[in-house]
Amino acid sequence: MKKTLITALAAAGLMSLAACGHKTDAAENVAAAADNTADSMEASAANVRDDASNAAAATEARADNKADAMENKADAVRAAGENKADAMDKKTH
């Protein structure tokens, strides 16, 4: 019963939207201009989100590069320490 009522209300809502039309060309032009402005604003919002996503990706890449460089330096320090310890061992034998 509820499903039928909901379906009927949804259909009535769609029919009322389909029946919406403006009586004059001027009114249609105003509505179309508003739609175009809203579409432009939505596109701008999408661009802001894309820009933020790109900036975040670039920041992440820079951070990854810095972290990789630090890890490489840590590996070099570790290797230098091992080489020095090996050299010390050779002196004692």
Per-residue pLDDT of the chain (93 residues; tens, 9 = 90+): 556 656 655 666 555 544 468 899 999 999 999 999 999 999 999 999 999 999 999 999 999 999 999 999 999 999 999 999 999 999 886
> What residues contact residue 39 under an 8 Å CB cut-off, 6+ apart?
none
Give the span between the Cα atoms of 76 and 30, in whole angstroms. 69
In this prediction, residue 92 carries a pLDDT of: 82
Give the span between the Cα atoms of 52 and 56, in whole angstroms. 6
Give the span between the Cα atoms of 93 and 86, in whole angstroms. 11
Q: Are 28 and 22 in contact (CB under 8 A)?
A: yes
pTM of the model: 0.54
